[in-house]
Amino acid sequence: MLQLGQLSLKGRALRLLSAREHSRVELERKLAQHEEEPGQLKNILDDLQAKGFIDEQRVVESVLNRRAGKLGAMRIRQELQGKGLDGEMVQAAVAQLQGSEFERAREVWRRKFEGPPASAAERGKQMRFLASRGFGGEVIRRVLSGEGAAGPA
């Protein structure tokens, strides 16, 4: 079996794509150092994109499926932008998440904490936790106030 160092540029690209969906920009970043001739990487990526191996919409769907249960819309937006995806596609994905933001934040909070904060320090800790996951201030306030819940689970 070929070692990674012996793989062709196309082989490297296919290996990366077999592990998970990658955007074209991600592949360019990861493979640029292995390009032997100028334009070689562009040609390979053009070919892979034409054959459907690189699909920006699948990248968005993959990120949403993997990360939406753990992260808020702001954090997912950053991740999608970091992958170099089209701005309109990122906006559409974030808009799709907005409807379930409160429920997702509440579920993330329930998995981490046993109940509502008993002190100001605990409230700050819970707020920082949810904010670090990319949930917005209004959603965090609603989760910590127990809004929309019959009580802590």
Structural domains of the chain, ranges and CATH numbers in brackets: 1-54 (1.10.10), 55-98 (1.10.10), 101-144 (1.10.10)
Residue 99 and residue 104: Cα distance in Å, rounded?
Answer: 10
The string of pLDDT tens digits covering residues 15-34 is 999 999 999 999 999 999 99
Give the pair of three-digit tokens for residue 27: 């592949």
The per-residue pLDDT of the chain, averaged, comes to: 91
As to burial, measured by CB atoms within 10 angstroms (0-12 exposed, 13-18 middle, 19+ buried), residue 82 is exposed
Q: Which whole number is the average pLDDT over 47-64?
A: 95
The predicted pLDDT at position 7 comes to 76
The average pLDDT across 36-63 equals 94
Q: How confident is the model at residue 55, as a pLDDT?
A: 95
pLDDT of residue 30: 95
| Nearest CA-CA partner of 93 in 141, 129, 56, 136 | 56
